[in-house]
Structure 1
Amino acid sequence: MSAVTVSARTPSRTGPVRRRPHVGTHLFLIVMAVMWLIPLLWSLYTALRPKADTDKYGYFSIAGTYNLQNFIDAWNQGGFPTYFLNSVIITVPTVILTLLFASMMAFAVSRFSWKFNVTLLIMFTAGNLLPPQVLATPIFELFKLIQLPYSISDSGTLLNQLVGVIAANTGFQIGFCTFVLSNYMKAIPTELTEAARVDGAGVWTQYVRIIMPLTRPALAALATLEVIFIYNDYFWPLILIQSGNRLPVTTAINNLQGQFLSNYNLLAAGAVIIVIPTLIVYLALQRQFVAGLTLGASKG
């Protein structure tokens, strides 16, 4: 059989490869996106309507007026400025400390071979398997026994202090971040740190000037997730803080609840106000977030 016949029957390997359209995948993603957007859009729609129009025309109607009065009332009645400040004081240090400690631990277990590196990584990862509710009582009793000067803590302990919430959130989030960062750092070529070691760079220099700049996409993705996780956390502030003026913004919506009657339009406006900061953070870090998630997708 001639070479021309063989080449005519054999498909060319150098030609363009046609990919099948992923109709099922796209349909699934569209359905999931719509399911996630419906509650947010419905809350926004309800927040823009006065309660009188909702009572008159019903929730499933478009008649009536639309304004921002519910947002103004929710902001004033819910005490959002104070609660937002508390959330910032809790979220920002927690994210910074979590990423700092997790990156140090990930650097130690991924770039160096020593006796307990795998054991420590397993311990950090296994900590995520325990639900916070299981450890709520031991941590509460532990924080109650830790004595602090009254110049630092007006309760004399870690209870009823924002630093206690920061410590609890940091401890529970380090395991997840360590697991993600350690896997990310293992993909970085070891020749980089070996060359730096030959040039006289110490461990701290390798960590700060070589590894940390290369893990910036992963850190941005984790920072986005951690801001959302910690900002939306309701459990630890509820357990560790007794003073109402020290609670985060996720609890401010309770101030909009009536004793005998609930204004759901006002509650919807408060819920939308609470969601806005997380949307801003995600939109600001969207490019870095997607880059951190998809960086290793094309690697074999």
Structure 2
Amino acid sequence: MFPRPIQQLSGGRQVAYQVFLPIALFIWLIPLLAVMLFSIKPDGDFVAGNFWGMPSSFELFTNYGKVFFESDMPRYLLNSVLITVPTVIGAIVLSSMTGFALGVYKFRGNLLIFFMFIAGNFVPFQILMVPVRDLTVSMNLYDTKLGLVLFHIAFQTGFCTLFMRNFIRALPFPLIESARVEGVAEWRIFLFVVLPLMKPALAALAVLIFTFIWNDYFWAVVLTQGPDAQPVTAGITSFNSQFRAAYHLMSAGSIVAALPPVAMFFLMQKHFIAGLTLGAVK
């Protein structure tokens, strides 16, 4: 039913795997490599139609210098940090508490509340565009970083609760029972017994949510406008003018915007993999 490990295949299949894997990886990376190539080309190459050829001159420092020192890109990056970090913290804090309540306590309506959290993940977020925008306008949160933070926390808490609840239910319940026998308060059980065991799940969830929020473009365009509150994904479009687009600067800005989530993944890679695989093997 499941594919066998590569080491158990025949010699010919192992060679084919080693040959075709780099090819597939290169094909998958072609768009990113193209953006990296565009980011060091001069503007004239695009006018001349030199899209895939070698640059007529290497403008690495010129293009990236314009992105950092002649545009609002540093401000957009700061906005992304001020939006993403509070969202990750808020979503993880709320979901860890709701996951603990739904995973440990048995009460009437437990499954109904859990299904409501799950159901929110199946709603196409595009249909929420008009009501969410109207809500932020009526609450004076339109075009503010706080509005984006609150919306992302509300939207991501459902997925995070699903993740946390299932993880907590896989923990050894006798630990909680023994703590109760010793007279430990429920909030202390959560903080000092359950929460330390959830560190791999918290790390994995932090990486996922950080990537989701940092790379969000749809809601950044719907709920913000201008450099005061827009994150970097929406701010990249500021390199476009009315009659032309500075593709070389947009490419450089895209590379800059992609670096933080990539760095986040590599810094948390060990904990991320542990969080996803913990409990997979008994």
TM norm structure 1: 0.83
CA-CA distance at 1:162 after TM superposition = 1.5
- Between the aligned partners of 2:17 and 2:163, the Cα distance in structure 1 is 26
Amino acid at match of 1:20: L
- Between the aligned partners of 1:60 and 1:265, the Cα distance in structure 2 is 13
- Between the aligned partners of 2:196 and 2:156, the Cα distance in structure 1 is 22
Structure 2 equivalent of residue 122 of structure 1: 115
When residues 27 and 184 of structure 1 are mapped into structure 2, their CA distance, relative to the original with a 3 A threshold, is farther
CA-CA distance at 1:237 after TM superposition = 2.8
On the 8 A contact 1:78/1:253 being kept in 2, the answer is no
When residues 120 and 138 of structure 1 are mapped into structure 2, their CA distance, relative to the original with a 3 A threshold, is same
CA-CA distance at 1:224 after TM superposition = 0.5
When residues 243 and 52 of structure 1 are mapped into structure 2, their CA distance, relative to the original with a 3 A threshold, is closer
On the 8 A contact 1:77/1:256 being kept in 2, the answer is no
CA-CA distance at 1:298 after TM superposition = 2.0
- Between the aligned partners of 2:179 and 2:21, the Cα distance in structure 1 is 44
Matches within 5 A, 1:89-108: 89-108=82-101
CA-CA distance at 1:291 after TM superposition = 1.1
1:76 to 2:69 alignment: yes
Please say which structure displays the higher CA radius of gyration: 1
Structure 2 equivalent of residue 237 of structure 1: 220
CA deviations 1:193-231 (Å, max 9, x no partner) are 001111111111111111111111111111001111111
Structure 1 equivalent of residue 78 of structure 2: 85
- Between the aligned partners of 2:279 and 2:265, the Cα distance in structure 1 is 21
On the 8 A contact 1:158/1:164 being kept in 2, the answer is yes
Please report the RMSD computed on the Cα atoms of aligned residues, expressed in angstroms: 2.3
On the 8 A contact 1:74/1:256 being kept in 2, the answer is no
On the 8 A contact 1:43/1:268 being kept in 2, the answer is yes
Matches within 5 A, 1:212-291: 212-291=195-274
Identity %: 36
Unmatched 5+ residue regions in structure 2? Answer: 1-6
Structure 2 equivalent of residue 62 of structure 1: 54
When residues 35 and 183 of structure 1 are mapped into structure 2, their CA distance, relative to the original with a 3 A threshold, is farther
Structure 2 equivalent of residue 111 of structure 1: 104
- Between the aligned partners of 2:24 and 2:280, the Cα distance in structure 1 is 22
Structure 2 equivalent of residue 14 of structure 1: none
- Between the aligned partners of 1:116 and 1:32, the Cα distance in structure 2 is 48
Structure 2 equivalent of residue 159 of structure 1: 142
1:34 to 2:23 alignment: no
SS of the equivalent of 1:68 reads helix
On the 8 A contact 2:40/2:55 being kept in 1, the answer is no
When residues 57 and 124 of structure 1 are mapped into structure 2, their CA distance, relative to the original with a 3 A threshold, is closer
Structure 2 equivalent of residue 51 of structure 1: 43
On the 8 A contact 2:41/2:55 being kept in 1, the answer is no
CA-CA distance at 1:27 after TM superposition = 7.4
Unmatched 5+ residue regions in structure 1? Answer: 1-17, 147-156
SS of the equivalent of 2:241 reads coil
Amino acid at match of 2:245: S
Structure 2 equivalent of residue 210 of structure 1: 193
